[in-house]
RNA sequence: GGGAGCAUAGCUCAGUUGGUUUAGAGCAUCUGCCUUACAAGCAGAGGGUCCGCGGUUCGAACCCGUGUGCUCCCACCA
């Protein structure tokens, strides 16, 4: 079979994915083997996968494939997240732009139909991307956070927590998204520094109050500073610090809110910073969390001057219906005209923006549903602190995890949206709440409550009536809101195995807890912490053993990937251009765990080159398949045996290193190790060492061994680059099995002595090549080598390799060349290169002098240590011994070099 | 304002409880090669005040203090 010049990934990748699927390699059923379970962090169905997902899925696939080749029953569950607010915002936007439909004009059912269509479209794109990337997920297990059983699980959990008293309904200050018209959790708000203005506004004294100000002031007003003049209509008090002498005399006085002349009292609270602004704070409980708290403390009313969409409400009295930012400008103008605006200052402030719609978030009083977090947080914290769950990298995230859980606040879980699980709460005409899994159950509860009420009233009326008229049909209305998307995601590792809806099924018992969670560090609180809470609360067991945090993917300038910057590449394009293996390689090679990844296409280029290197190694070995020596191996490499022993040891050494690195989740380093093993040790050294001269046959035993080595390298690389490795595995030799399921054998112990010989040989070759280079000896010009050594025997097995690698036609030991030659020093041995060509003695001298200088400096530093009494007294014996050896080695080398220099003259 | 992390070659990063040389890798750079697996390649080379300062130690890239710079998280003073 003719192999193409370069590796072409496209059809190969398609072919093998289909093959693996047809063999059901990705499918998993509970059996006797140990389980290795991964649940995919379900991507939001808001759009297509970006580079962050690519990194995540690649890491998971590497772990899954490695586990599969190590005898585990691997189950990787794919899926997607309905992403309540994010998706709803996209659908609303799409409807408006593409169909001219306003959500207001749709019924809930109609809207959900569109939303499901959207989910179908983007969900499928996401799944096809996961497939193209080569992810070995079990496609029979695709889960979605709004699947029927999943929906039921969420409802069940809500009811359960409500019954336990862990869910309550209450009026709180929440973050309000005026575009999506919904509450946001604290985590959904992003703060940005913005230039704003601080306005100083006069509040006049109520004219009905007389002579309250000290005569020295002589003015009947006080000045407050605010960034948000449009909220003054919601003011209910002015507040000063009780220790602020400037204002203590104002106690009991009343002032007027400008423009609307509403009377507000002066109160005192230590919360107020005397040194900020004027030292007086206006209290607007409806629109600021701190004001709200002060309001509660001082029993002040709440005046909400904003509508849900961010326009001013009737309570504002003026500018009703105008957007808050428009109203701000107008109010400032009006204040200025009335002479009530004292001054404006430039001021940098941090404003909260909605993560989903990017509008400025308004603090707003609202009745919402909350989860009490304190009791849930405790066990979740313990799991991590006791290292029952291991976080990687540990140092970086354990502290933040601990801090968040120790200071956790109640979780606002209701959202004023349609896309999501509708809150299972019903209200009767009196506003009484019934929380139940179904409407029937809610009605049942209502009946019980109302019949109790009837019997209560019977007792109190003390009128004995016997005719029990049937209870009237209840008019229950269901809560319109849906649940926060994370209130469904936190059940993910459990409910993908139906562990909430059927708590004792075979699957959940086998696959749970899952093995490892791979996710971005940005959702440690949103998701990771809450999954641990859910695991502990609903199954009394952690959801996963390990958590691997990937960093954020940035562009090569360190900027976040974003659509507006246009620096977020399209995954399918990249796969098309480089191949999935190269994309996986490129993204993994530069991605240490937990560090941000600076994405640069040049690393994909490197991956592509690596593919080609493997391809060419295949071509070389294939050539030998047809051209093997018969009989006693005439023309074969005599030193194949030694090369084989060396590579066997090198391979074992690397296998052990890679295993350790993989167990520590240091995947990037593991890949680097494999890359270097294949490119340098296998291709540049081993294959060159055993390669017969052109046209000559190879020794069959060497050939067979080489194929086995190649197999093992492919196996090591397969988790990282699955397609090309499977392809080469099959092209290398006719096979009945597939690489993807080939089980790792135990790694051997490397032979340390032979590795040392290998290092020596490599150093020798490099030094001689360097000398050739520096002396302008063309590769084709043959040389004779004269080696001065006390250990001639150790050279015997290396001789043939050495002469081939440096193009030497003769190697002589402990003889001096008669003619002038190039002299170099490698280790403790002096080597002469003799050739017919002119040699440049100046270049040699230069090199030798440089080495000499280095060695003398080195010797001084060693001597300094050894002549230091304290060092000799305190250092460990091995360390001293080592220094002595360094000293004698250096002295020996210096002697040889000086001798050489003398010879050259 | 509170906390965490980082700072090593042009770039991205390793560097294990302080001692294997005067610190390593990949990429990039430079030099020479179209040598029959591979120019998407081969061979070789150059490149570092381990952020500054101070301390502990016989010995510091590593430990301690301090300064500077960057990143992130939390809080959210009108």
Residue A595 buriedness (CB in 10 A; 0-12 / 13-18 / 19+): middle
**Residue A718, φ and ψ in degrees, nearest 5:** -50, -45
Q: In what order do the strands lie in the sheet with A362-371?
A: A182-184, A167-177, A362-371, A411-412
The CA-atom distances, in angstroms, between A476 and each of A107, A274, A439, A445, A479 are: 19, 52, 9, 11, 10
CA of A865 to C1' of B57 (A): 14
Q: What is the 3-state secondary structure (H, E, C) of A282-350?
A: EECCCCCHHHHHHHHHCCCCCCCCECCCCEECHHHCCCCCCEHHHHHHHHHHHHHHCCCEEEEEEEEEE
- Contact (Cβ atoms closer than 8 angstroms) between residue A833 and residue A772: yes
**Angstrom distance (rounded) from CA A143 to CA A138:** 11
Strand B at less than 7 A from CB of A187: yes
d(CA A473, CA A306): 38
Contact A549, A593 (CB under 8 A): yes
Distance A505 CA to B24 C1' (A): 53
As beta bridge partners, residue A477 has A427
Report helix, strand or coil for A721: coil
Closest CA to A312 of A328, A293, A295, A334: A328
**Closest residue (CA to C1') to nucleotide B12 in the complex:** A590
What integer pLDDT is reported at residue A215 of this predicted model?
41
Query: What is the rounded distance in angstroms from the CA atom of residue A479 to the CA atom of residue A413?
Result: 13
The DSSP H or E segment spanning A76 is strand A73-77
Q: Contact, A823 vs A831, CB < 8 A?
A: yes
Q: Measure Cα distances from A729 to A4, A160, A579, A614, A682 in Å.
A: 16, 53, 18, 11, 16
Strand B reaches within 7 A of the A396 CB: yes
Handedness of CA A267, A270, A271, A276 (dihedral sign): positive
CA distance A783 to A780: 9
Q: Counting Cβ atoms within 10 Å, is residue A769 exposed (0-12), middle (13-18) or buried (19+)?
A: middle
ipTM of this complex: 0.94
Say whether A22 sits in a helix, a strand or coil: helix
CA distance A851 to A140: 65
Neighbours of A463 (CB within 10 A): 8
Question: CB of A671 under 7 A from strand B?
Answer: no
The token duo for A347 is 């001021």
Pairing relation of β-strands A829-834 and A822-826?
antiparallel
Which DSSP string do the residues of A144-165 spell out, in sequence order?
ETTSHHHHHHHHHHHHHHHHTT
Distance, in Å, from the CA atom of A126 to the CA atom of A540, rounded to the nearest integer, reads 33
Burial class (CB in 10 A: 0-12, 13-18, 19+), A411: buried
Distance, Å, A306 CA → B73 C1': 32
Cα A320 to Cα A314: distance, rounded to the nearest angstrom? 6
Judge whether residue A620 contacts strand B, using its CB and a 7 Å cut-off.
yes
- Average pLDDT for runs of 10 along chain A of length 905: 88 97 98 97 91 93 97 98 91 94 94 97 96 98 97 98 94 86 80 82 79 50 90 93 86 90 91 84 90 88 91 93 93 93 83 82 88 92 89 78 86 92 95 94 91 60 50 84 94 98 97 94 88 96 93 79 76 95 93 78 94 96 88 58 94 93 90 95 95 87 95 97 98 95 91 90 90 82 88 88 90 84 82 78 77 83 83 84 85 84 73
**CA–CA separation, A202 and A555 (whole Å):** 50
pLDDT of residue A273: 83
Tally helices (H) and strands (E) across chain A: 27, 29
Distance, Å, A635 CA → B47 C1':
44
Nucleotide showing the shortest C1' distance to residue A827 CA: B21
Q: Which nucleotides of B are covered by protein (CB under 7 A)?
A: 3-6, 11-14, 19-22, 25-28, 31-33, 35-38, 40-45, 57-59, 71, 73-78
List, in order, residues 6 or more apart from A187 with CB less than 8 Å away. A525, A526
Rounded to whole angstroms, the distance from the CA of residue A590 to the C1' of nucleotide B68 is 28
Estimate in Å the CA A805 to C1' B72 gap, whole number.
52
* pLDDT given at position A212: 47
- Nearest nucleotide to the CA of A281, by C1', is B78
Residue nearest to nucleotide B39 (CA to C1'): A609
Calpha distance A486→A528 (Å, rounded): 10
Does at least one atom of strand B sit less than 7 Å from the CB of A606?
yes
Does strand B come within 7 Å of the CB of A890? yes
> If you measure CA to C1', which residue is closest to nucleotide B19?
A879
Where helices occur in A386-462 by DSSP H, the ranges are 394-406, 439-461
The residues of A between 847 and 876 with beta carbon within 7 Å of nucleic strand B are 854, 856-858, 860-862, 865, 868, 870-871, 874-876
| A68's tokens | 């599969």
Flag residues 541-560 of A with CB < 7 Å from strand B. 556, 558
Phi, psi of A52 (to 5 degrees): -60, -45
The pLDDT value recorded for residue A47 is 86
How many Å apart are CA A844 and CA A32, to the nearest integer?
68
| B26 C1': nearest CA residue | A672
């Amino acid at each position: 079979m003719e192999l193409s010049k370069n590796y072409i990934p496209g059809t190969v990748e398609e072919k093998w994915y289909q093959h693996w699927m047809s063999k059901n390699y990705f499918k998993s059923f509970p059996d006797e083997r140990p389980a290795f379970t991964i649940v995919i962090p379900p991507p939001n169905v808001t759009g297509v996968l970006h580079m962050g997902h690519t990194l995540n899925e690649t890491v998971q696939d590497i772990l899954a494939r490695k586990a599969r080749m190590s005898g585990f029953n691997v189950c990787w569950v794919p899926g997607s997240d309905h992403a309540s607010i994010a998706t709803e915002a996209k659908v609303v936007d799409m409807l408006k732009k593409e169909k001219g439909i306003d959500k207001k004009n749709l019924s809930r059912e109609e809207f959900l139909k569109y939303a499901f269509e959207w989910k179908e479209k983007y969900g499928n794109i996401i799944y096809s991307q996961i497939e193209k990337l080569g992810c070995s997920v079990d496609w029979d297990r695709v889960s979605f956070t709004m699947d029927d059983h999943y929906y039921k699980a969420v409802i069940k959990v809500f009811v359960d927590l409500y019954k336990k008293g862990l869910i309550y309904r209450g009026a709180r200050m929440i973050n309000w998204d005026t575009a999506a018209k919904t509450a946001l959790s604290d985590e959904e708000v992003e703060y940005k520094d913005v230039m704003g203005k601080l306005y100083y506004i006069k509040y006049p004294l109520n004219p009905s109050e007389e002579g309250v100000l000290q005569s020295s002031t002589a003015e009947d007003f006080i000045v407050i500073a605010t960034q948000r003049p449009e909220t003054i209509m919601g003011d209910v008090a002015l507040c000063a610090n009780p220790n602020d002498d400037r204002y203590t005399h104002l106690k009991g006085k009343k002032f007027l809110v400008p423009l609307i002349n509403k009377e507000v009292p002066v109160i005192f609270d230590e919360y107020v910073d005397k040194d900020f602004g004027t030292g007086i704070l206006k209290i607007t409980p409806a629109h600021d969390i701190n004001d709200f708290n002060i309001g509660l403390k001082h029993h002040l009313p709440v005046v909400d001057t904003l509508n849900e969409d961010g326009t001013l409400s009737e309570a504002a009295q003026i500018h009703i219906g105008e957007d808050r930012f428009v109203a701000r400008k107008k109010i400032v103008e009006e204040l200025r005209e009335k002479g009530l605006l004292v001054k404006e200052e430039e001021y940098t402030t941090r404003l909260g923006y909605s993560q989903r719609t990017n509008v400025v978030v308004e603090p707003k009083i609202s009745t919402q549903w909350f989860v009490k977090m304190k009791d849930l947080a405790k066990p979740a914290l313990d799991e991590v602190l006791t290292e029952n769950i291991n976080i990687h990298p540990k140092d970086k995230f354990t502290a933040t995890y601990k801090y968040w859980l120790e200071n956790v606040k109640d979780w606002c879980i209701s959202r004023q949206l349609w896309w999501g699980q509708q809150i299972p709460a019903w209200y009767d005409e009196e506003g009484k709440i019934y929380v139940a899994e179904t409407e029937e159950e809610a009605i049942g509860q209502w009946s019980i409550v109302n019949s109790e009420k009837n019997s209560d009233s019977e007792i109190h009326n003390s009128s004995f009536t016997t005719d029990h008229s049937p209870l009237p049909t209840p008019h229950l209305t269901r809560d319109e809101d849906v649940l926060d998307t994370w209130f469904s995601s936190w059940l993910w590792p459990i409910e993908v195995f139906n562990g909430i809806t059927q708590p004792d099924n075979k699957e959940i018992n086998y696959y749970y807890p899952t093995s490892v969670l791979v996710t971005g560090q940005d959702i440690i609180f949103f998701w990771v912490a809450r999954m641990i809470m859910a695991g502990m609360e609903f199954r009394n067991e952690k959801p996963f053993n390990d958590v691997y945090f990937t960093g954020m993917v940035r562009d090569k300038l360190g900027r976040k990937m974003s659509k507006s910057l246009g620096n977020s590449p399209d995954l399918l394009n990249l796969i098309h251009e480089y191949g999935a293996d190269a994309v996986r390689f490129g993204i993994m090679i530069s991605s240490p765990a937990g560090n941000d990844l600076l994405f640069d296409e040049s690393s994909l280029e490197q991956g592509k080159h690596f593919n080609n290197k493997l391809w060419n190694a295949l071509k070389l070995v294939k050539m030998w398949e047809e051209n093997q020596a018969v009989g006693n191996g005439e023309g074969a490499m005599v030193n194949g045996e030694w090369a084989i022993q060396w590579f066997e040891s090198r391979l074992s050494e690397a296998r052990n290193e890679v295993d350790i690195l993989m167990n520590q989740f240091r995947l990037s380093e593991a890949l680097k190790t494999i890359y270097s093993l294949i490119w340098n040790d296998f291709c540049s050294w081993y294959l060159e060492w055993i390669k017969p001269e052109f046209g000559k046959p190879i020794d069959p035993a060497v050939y067979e061994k080489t194929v086995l080595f190649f197999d093992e390298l492919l196996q090591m690389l397969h988790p990282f680059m699955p397609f090309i490795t499977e392809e080469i595995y099959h092209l290398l030799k006719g096979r009945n099995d597939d690489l993807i399921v080939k089980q790792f054998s135990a790694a051997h112990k490397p032979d340390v002595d032979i590795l040392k010989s290998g290092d020596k040989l490599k150093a020798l070759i490099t030094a001689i090549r360097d000398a050739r280079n520096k002396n302008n000896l063309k590769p084709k010009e043959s040389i004779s080598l004269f080696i001065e050594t006390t250990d001639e025997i150790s050279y015997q097995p290396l001789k043939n390799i050495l002469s081939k690698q440096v193009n030497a036609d003769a190697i002589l030991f402990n003889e001096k060349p008669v003619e002038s030659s190039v002299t170099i020093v490698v280790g403790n041995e002096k080597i002469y290169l003799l050739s017919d060509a002119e040699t440049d003695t100046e270049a040699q001298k230069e090199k030798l002098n440089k080495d000499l200088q280095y060695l003398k400096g080195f010797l001084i530093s060693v001597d300094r240590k050894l002549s230091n009494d304290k060092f000799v007294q305190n250092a460990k014996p091995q360390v001293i011994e080592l220094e002595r050896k360094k000293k004698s080695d250096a002295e020996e080398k210096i002697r040889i070099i000086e001798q050489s220099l003398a010879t050259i003259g």
